[in-house]
Amino acid sequence: MQGQTKITNAFQLGLLGGLGVLTAVVIGGAIQTLADIITYVAAAIFIALGLEPVVAKLESANLKRPVAILIVVLGLLGGLTALVWAILPPLASEGAKFIEKVPSVISGFGDLPLIVKLDNQLGGSISSAIASTSAFLSDSANWPKLVGGVVQVGMNIFNGFFAGLVILILSLYFMSSLNRFRDFLFGLVPASKREKFADIADQVATSVGRYVIGQFGIAALNATLSYIFMLIMGIPFAVVLAFIVLLLGLIPLVGNVTSSAIITLVALSVSPTTAIVAAAYCLIYMQIESYIISPKIMNKAVAVPGAVVVVAALSGGALLGVLGALVAIPVAASGILIIRQILMPHQDTK
């Protein structure tokens, strides 16, 4: 009888274990299927929290929340429209010229003394690779292949527009219903702990909002200074490159390095000396941003140790790509805040 009980218990344990594995597989498949939607929702929440400090500021000026949201949204759309209207014509013209000049920029890279020396040591393999790349890019028929063909290019443009529209609509919804969702969430917490939970949640939301505004401000400053520098140095496609700097500047760590490499490569089309000066400028600016500008702005938003910033940004980028890198730092800041205000006081009471 005892042996039969053990067999029954083992069978139940195996059945529960199998059901657990099956449930995990189903949940994993559902997350993979809904990956795009989850990304849209996360981006919309991120934007809504980023604009919340502005909405709250307008509410403090005795404006009703719907009116404050309308003003913020109209201001955002107006700013984006003005930006597109101002940069689209030069962006289109300079973008076409930039694409045409990419082969010559790559060829100029092979004329650098260091590259020539390495090429001689490697038996001409670098110059051969550069020549092949330049020949491939010189043929306009090959350009669609880089992005999957003409149809795929059109689909990517449509998908990007659709994703932006969905994120905008979701952002409006989250902004309008943020207080209701906040009250609902607080209602799920026991009354004895509700005040503490509300305080921490408000601090997390505030830190995320300040981070979004701060990161955009830093990226805009970088783009403006880079544009002025490129005009002074006579580097072509300054508008296109400044726009790239603005977009990549929103991505922690990797963004500045990538935009600096692009500017330096384009500067090669002017002269090797210009490229060296551009590389020096980018390096100096990155140091100033890392040790002066960013700490002054970001420490007011998210107080996160430098090592945690690096690990969080790399981990977020590896898990969720660009969006992961963007949200990783405020998520890390939220985790540190929760540890400091909940876990550490709890440990002190033991």
Please compute, for residue 77, the number of CA atoms within 13 A of its CA located in the half-sphere on the CB side: 12
Query: Which pLDDT does position 150 carry in this prediction?
Result: 47
Contact indicator for 200, 341 with CB cutoff of 8 Å? yes
Return the DSSP state at 339: I
Cβ distance 53 to 68 under 8 Å? no
pLDDT at position 304, please?
A: 67
| Torsional class of 237: left (φ above 0), alpha (ψ -120 to 50), beta (otherwise) | left
**Which of 171-175, 227-231, 251-255 shows the lowest mean pLDDT across its residues?**
251-255
pLDDT: which is higher, 143 or 84: 84
- Taking only the tens place, the pLDDT of each residue in 10-63 is 667 777 777 878 888 888 777 777 777 877 887 788 888 888 888 888 888 888
pTM of the model: 0.69
Confidence band of 301 (pLDDT split at 50, 70, 90): low
Report which of residues 291 and 225 the model is more confident about.
Answer: 225
Start-to-end CA span in the chain (Å): 47
Q: Which of 58-72, 180-194, 271-285, 291-305 has the lowest mean pLDDT?
A: 291-305
